[in-house]
A and B are shown apart, each in its own frame.
Chain A
Amino acid sequence: MLSYIRKTGGYLDYTIKIGGEAGQGIQTIGDTLARVFSRSGYHVFTHQDYMSRVRGGHNFYQIRLSDEPVTASRGKVDILVALDRETVLAHEEELSDIGIIVYDSAAFQEKQDFPQFLDVPLLKIAIESGGGKITVNTVATGTILGMLGLGIDGFIEILSDTLRKKGEDVFNVNRKAAFGGYDFAVRNCPRCSFALSLSGLPLRNMLIGANEAIGLGAIGSGCRFYSAYPMTPSTGIMLYIASKAKEYGVVVEQAEDEIAAINMAIGASFAGVRAMTGTSGGGFALMVEGLSLAAMTETPIVIALAQRPGPATGFPTRTEQAELLFALHAGHGEFPRVIFAPGSPEQAFYLTNKAFDLSQKYQIPVFILTDQYLADSQWTYSGFNLNRLIYRNYRLTEPDLEGVAEYKRHAFTETGISPFAIPGASHHLVVTDSDEHDEEGHLVEDGPTRIRMVQKRLFNKVPLIRDEMAPPLVCGDSAPDIVVTGWGSTFGIMNEAVKTLSLTTKIAMLHFSEIFPFPSNRSFDYVEFLRRAKITVCVEQNASGQFARLMRTETGFEFSGTINRYDGRPFMVEELIGELSAYIERL
């Protein structure tokens, strides 16, 4: 079944899975290997699966590397690094024809005689290098590089970068451990035939995850204030921005709760700086009141909403796309909002920039909707194009207000957008109210003003905002029999599935990353594109088909089929291909 995934003699495509208990250093091994590969010019895709606990349990880190771009994880594993017995039990079935399981018989207290097992004395090598249990990671990383035949220089360089600051001794111990693992694999793995080489590849690739890309996009868009309450899987954004706080001049405040987090961001934004918050579903539930406040006071705000399965605490560390309609309908009252759902770290980077720009331009809340799968995945790129970033400041400062006789915060204009002054920057007063208000921002109760204000906030702005939304991305056959549609994090998986299936089927993909206001079909009539296909399938990581429902509401179009996954786990490429094949058979 997998023969069509790996081209024979074409490109190289390996998957490495590192499994073990929380606290065993799985992430260190995974991150380091991924970095070595991307620096060597390989394309990498990583994803993580972890439990909501600090120690114990079963976690894994999966890396796919190829000399062609890769955008999702495969189900088959070529090297399985089992730091505990549970990993073997849970993932042995996933081993490919050439697959090898790396384990330490001393740790397992059991020797495996099957040929696919490679017994590496990880702990013994670690101790002989002068390190302890903690150095097992380094030995394991060296071992994998030895198995792949990629050389060890890249790894030593990373060790030098990260460990020399902890002392020369620490570095030397790890260097020795790395070589120990590497040499062992080179000498003792006759079955290893992976033979990676460094020739013919671009010099290096950038490796980045979605949370970091959002953080980078935020600081690159002039974000000066980030307030949030830690919540998986959004915390990475706050951690990233906090790590750049000093350099970029960003105040990062860990609020007492999500209610405070969004209100602080609104306060900072009103006072004149670009502000953002981030959370997951449960935290966003607390922010809903503040969302409505931002809308009424026309205060710009960017909200990163990283989804995880609910209801309530749900699966804290797993993935789902079930908050699209929540984000869409959240907040009392009627007001405009923008929802972006990037499908990759690259899209996350550019859309974060666009989120800041639109929130400032229209003085509205803008969402960046991700999920655990995307947040914890890493992709490789040659780089981001910084010239694509929009750098436009919309706030009125002192020079803009000089000579202005009268200033009204909520002045009626043709576009519905009122010039927004910075309080304290001039003699003009900036007044706003969560109550319905007049142009000056003072509380009113009369009907006619109310009508004009609703028209200003909603009807004047929404058509303009809709025009800013890009149509869905389309790829594959131009006159397809089957169209696969999705949004957000399923981009990479759908992309790979469609690429593979297009060898035998007239198939195309539609991917929506700018979701609301639903993009107009002026530049690309995607509804017509869908209507012409024989089969249209909407792929979503939720139970009820939220995007399919939105599509029906907005365009009247109904998909002929849906593929919904709601076990908290992402699709592997083979799994989606399998699901789609069932539809293709009906053609």
Chain B
Amino acid sequence: MPTLNDYKGQVPAWCPGCGNYGILKTFKEAFVEMGIEPHQFLIVSGIGQAGKFPHYIRCNTFNGLHGRTLPVATGAKLANHEMLVVAVGGDGDCYGEGGNHLVHSMRRNIGVKLFVHNNQIYGLTKGQASPTSSEGMVTKNQPFGVLSEQFNPMAMAVALDCSFVARGYAGDQEHLKELIKAAVRHKGFSLVDILQPCVTFNKVNTYAWYGQRVYRIEPDYDPEDRLAAFEKALEWGEKIPIGLIYRKHRPAFEERVPVIEGSPLVNRPVFPDAMRERLRTTMEEYY
């Protein structure tokens, strides 16, 4: 069984008090409790403070480009669908630069678990608005305040019939841990949006701000009721729900690709013994 020590990665370069520490700690605990060994999964991350996440854990890592976590993760999952593939990025990464990939990953229902560190601000580039920044928020780069409407990832995910839609909060780690486990166990694409205070640049959405608003979704809530889920997804402001907002049972993309039925592509010989013979037969089609 793995221990927390097996997950000891590099020393994080995040600001003291960053919400990411809570996510990191909770993630490690969840994986240890699920008995997953570091070599048994892959984290694909993007660029931003969240992009550094896999370096602070011990695991197979592809720290790719800004916004491109999901296509890399999709390719990896299709090459080796028996491996757990996790994607990690920030709000800029997943909702800005990589928006198109998010839409199509939900459509595919590829078995990738996406954890979005959503701090409603750009941290790495030092404090510009993100797609989830609230309308009117003034930054150095948005001196007249954010003019675009705040992006609502939960509502979009429900609208796209995403098979697992959840929101967590870095300040409620006990709750977040269970969400992470549920997302990992889910078959198909999981989106977990994690509210994460940026103590350096976001002076609006602070621990105190979230603390007053965030509430755990009621136990009798039915996440399989899509209309109710849509209503829940629209809740923002005075009250912000955290928990599983929507779930839809549908086959994962990798279960529907006939080519990979049986064994993952990666386990098959690169050059099967009968390769030349088979090619000869295929070449016959050109006569």
Contacts and interface: CB of A to CB of B under 8 A. Distances in A.
A443 B76 CA distance: 21
Interface in B80-135: 80, 83, 100-101, 103-104
A429 B39 contact: yes
Interface stretch (B66-74, B174-182, B231-239, B240-248): B66-74
Contacts, number: 196
Contact of A260 (B38, B40, B71, B278): B71
B282 A271 contact: no
Interface residues of B, number: 55
Interface string A267-306: 1111111110000000000000110010001000000000
Contact of A272 (B64, B80, B271): B80
A443 B104 contact: no
Contact of A259 (B71, B83, B270): B71
Interface in B27-55: 37-42, 44, 47, 52, 54-55
A384 B259 CA distance: 27
A377 to B, nearest CB: 14
A271 B78 CA distance: 9
B198 to A, nearest CB: 20
Interface stretch (A78-86, A168-176, A243-251): A243-251
B279 A216 contact: yes
A267 B101 CA distance: 14
B266 A272 contact: yes
**Chain B contact residues: over half helix, strand or loop, or mixed?**
helix
A256 B75 contact: no
Given A267-B74, A271-B42, A423-B42, A246 B258 contact: yes
A38 B286 CA distance: 9
Contact of A271 (B65, B83, B103, B271): B83
A407 to B, nearest CB: 10
Nearest to A250: B259
Interface string B211-244: 0000000000000000000000000000000000
Given A260-B101, A426-B39, A443 B63 contact: yes
Nearest to A203: B287
A576 B266 CA distance: 49
A271 B79 contact: yes
A352 interface: no
A393 interface: yes
Contact of B259 (A212, A219, A249, A259): A249
User: Which of A244, A422, A424, A435 has the most CB atoms of chain B within a 10 A radius of its CB?
Assistant: A424
Contacts of A124: none
B286 A206 contact: yes
Interface in A367-415: 383-384, 386-387, 389, 391, 393, 395
A441 B52 CA distance: 12
Nearest to A39: B287
A297 B76 CA distance: 14
A265 to B, nearest CB: 6
B67 to A, nearest CB: 8
Interface stretch (A221-229, A494-502, A504-512): A221-229
Interface string B3-46: 00000001000000000000000000000000001111110100
A329 interface: no
Given A260-B104, A386-B276, A442-B10, A427 B39 contact: yes
Contacts of B42: 271, 423-424
B151 interface: no
User: Which of A244, A256, A425 has the most CB atoms of chain B within a 10 A radius of its CB?
Assistant: A256
Contacts of B75: 225, 227, 263-271, 275
Contacts of A251: 78-79, 257, 259-260, 265
A257 interface: yes
Contacts of B65: 263, 289-290, 293, 434
Contacts of B58: 429
Interface string A181-217: 0000000000000000000000011111000100010
Interface of B: 10, 37-42, 44, 47, 52, 54-55, 58-65, 68, 70-80, 83, 100-101, 103-104, 257-260, 265-266, 268, 270-271, 275-276, 278-280, 282-283, 286-287
11 contacts: A216-B279, A225-B75, A245-B259, A251-B260, A256-B103, A260-B70, A267-B44, A267-B77, A297-B62, A386-B276, A431-B54
